[in-house]
Amino acid sequence: MNDTFRRETILIACFPILALLFLVTGAATRAYHAKQAGLAREWYGKGRAALARGKVGEAIQDLHAAFVYSHGDAAYELDLAKALISAHRTEEARTYLMALRDRDPENGPVNLELARLAAERGDAGEAVRYFHSAIYGLWPERPEEQRRAAWLELYHFLMSRGQRSEALAELMALAVELPPDPVLQTQVGDLFLQAKDYERALHQYEGALRLEPNHEPALRGAGEAAFNLGDYRQAERYLRRALRLERHDSEAAQRLELAQAVLDVDPFDPLLPPAERRQRVVRAFDQSLARLVKCAHDRRQSLQPGQGSLALLYAEAETMRAEVRHPQLERRPARLSAVMNLVFQMETATTEACGPPSGLDEAITLAASKHLAP
């Protein structure tokens, strides 16, 4: 009984000592980890500063030290990988990035860096996979903005490889996900416009204008898209509105002037009175023939029969001259189209021989091509 009592007494006496040792050990451990974390932050700060000075090699050493002291902190490891990429040590960087991805497959920044490395290697399939993982992954800050940026980077990557269809598919997917922001809608419209997808560009600009009717960049873009679609009436309306907001936009002003010129010379407008229709046909015929003759003169090319395409068209125009001026021309739609088809051929041949048209000739070419070009 006495032995049991003594053992219990000893154990009870040891509890305070054990508790004290536990507290001391815990405090020491916390102090150790705090010291390690402080060193990690210190080395990380040095690494970032070295990068800012362009000292990439020094930055890599400092960031590696920060990574070691942080016991594998993902943020430090990612910055170390980025520094290695800056030093063109891409295989080392990829090792760190793959380790990060293995631990966190949905990490947006990591997948984006892997996509860029694959793109640099020319591995399009792998690049697209990683881009998609970045787009649909998790981002610690401004996730929607970062995803859009990754999507646009993928679009430009595919365009740079000549994969237009795939690039436009990604751009269409991005357009669907855009928030109701006229600036973002217009930016995507600009990309469709640059890619010559004028219908989608116009749709995008019109979406921006529904959100903000006086958004000048969207008005200008819509005017340009409508112009390239051959809808000169709509182009005129949009460009006129854009110029009311930004009077010094010389490019928009030139486009508006040309759109108006096309509308003024187009003989196919269904609302035209018959006399005006014939006058426009005569005007286009005379202008195109005069340009053809001047081109042949400048090239010192004979317009005698058998002397080339310009001479052949000149002979056809001379044969048609009387018909063009016939008062009943406006009542014969088939012949009106035949005259304008010859006008289009003369403008096209002259362009091939002497360069692109300008002024009235450009307007005539656009008006004719809208109705007659294959």
User: CATH code at 228?
Assistant: 1.25.40.10
Q: Which of 51-60, 143-152, 286-295 has the lowest mean pLDDT?
A: 51-60
Same domain, 302 and 253: no
Is residue 20, in this structure, part of any structural domain at all? no
Same domain, 257 and 278: no
Amino acid at 263: L
Distance of alpha carbon 81 from alpha carbon 93, whole angstroms: 4
Q: Which of 219, 236, 265 is the last residue of a domain?
A: 265
Q: What's the DSSP call for residue 329?
A: G
Same domain, 182 and 256: yes
Is residue 184, in this structure, part of any structural domain at all? yes
Is residue 4, in this structure, part of any structural domain at all? no
**Whole-prediction pTM value?**
0.81
pLDDT in tens, 37-61: 554 465 566 556 655 666 566 566 6
Same domain, 254 and 283: no
Same domain, 256 and 290: no
Is residue 121, in this structure, part of any structural domain at all? no
Contacts of residue 34, defined as CB under 8 A and 6 or more positions apart, other chains included, come to none
pLDDT value at residue 334:
76
Is residue 169, in this structure, part of any structural domain at all? no
Q: Could you give the number of structural domains in the chain?
A: 2
Is residue 302, in this structure, part of any structural domain at all? yes
Is residue 323, in this structure, part of any structural domain at all? yes
Same domain, 280 and 363: yes
Same domain, 251 and 324: no
pLDDT in tens, 247-274: 999 999 999 999 999 999 999 888 888 8
Same domain, 228 and 287: no
pLDDT value at residue 81:
79
Same domain, 258 and 279: no
Q: Are 230 and 262 in contact (CB under 8 A)?
A: no
The three-state DSSP-derived secondary structure of 75-141 is HHHHHHHHHHHHCCCHHHHHHHHHHHHHHCCCEHHHHHHHHHHHHHHCCHHHHHHHHHHHHCCECCC
pLDDT in tens, 292-343: 999 999 999 999 887 788 999 999 999 998 888 877 776 777 788 889 999 9
Same domain, 198 and 219: yes
Q: Which of 206, 240, 265 is the last residue of a domain?
A: 265
Same domain, 351 and 287: yes
Same domain, 285 and 348: yes
Q: Which of 9-13, 250-254, 357-361 has the lowest mean pLDDT?
A: 9-13
Is residue 207, in this structure, part of any structural domain at all? yes
Q: Which of 239, 265, 291 is the last residue of a domain?
A: 265
Average pLDDT score over residue span 205-209 = 98
Enclosing domain of residue 225: 178-265
Residue 68 confidence (pLDDT) above 80: no
